[in-house]
Amino acid sequence: MSLYIEARIRADLEDLWKHTQEPALHQRWDLRFTEITYLPCADGEPQHFRYATRVLPFLTIAGTGVSAGEKRRADGTRTSALRFACPHPLSLLEEGSGYWRYVPEEGQGEGHEADGIRFLTGYDYRPRWGRLGALADRAAFRPLMGWATAWSFDRLRLWLERGITPERALLNAVADVALRLLGVT
């Protein structure tokens, strides 16, 4: 059961591409990662990267990946594919692959200017730990990954459309939850 998340982002394609492909920008909006760094590679070689997620203050789980390809079509659509793996024994995620797709949408207004980008991802992974891992993945981890991806896309959208930084969006969400809890009590 692969994950599929989609968002419509009213932004310039080049800005969206930059914010998703440059590790320093990507790690700011994507809740799934604390750190993303490119690893050295020779010209013409696929780009390898290291990613890490701080699970607890004293526990960081890291893995590696490789950009499996990039495609640009005449209609402006772009696709970026990757493969990833995590050898850490505490990581439920063992290995997987996915893609990001950027689809410019035509506007309905005068001049038919671009009306934003359909930004979507599809990815799947294999959990470790056998049947126990499959059960934990189906019951909790996969829904959590889908939620984190969707919220991350929304943080990216707010950043590009309204200038609300991902850090500010997180503070706004925490403040909202705190006020709601205070109202209930």
Digit-coded pLDDT (tens) for 74-110: 888 999 999 999 999 999 999 999 999 999 987 644 4
Distance CA 137, CA 93 (A): 9
Q: 3-184 sits in which CATH class?
A: alpha beta
Is the pLDDT reported for residue 3 higher than 80? yes
Is the pLDDT reported for residue 54 higher than 60? yes
Q: Give the model's confidence band at 44: pLDDT under 50 very low, under 70 low, under 90 confident, else very high.
A: confident
Average pLDDT for residues 114-138, to the nearest whole number?
A: 94
- Stated as kind and residue range, the H or E segment containing 27 is helix 23-29
- Stated as kind and residue range, the H or E segment containing 50 is strand 48-56
pLDDT attached to residue 42: 85
Phi, psi at residue 43, to the nearest 5°?
A: -55, 135
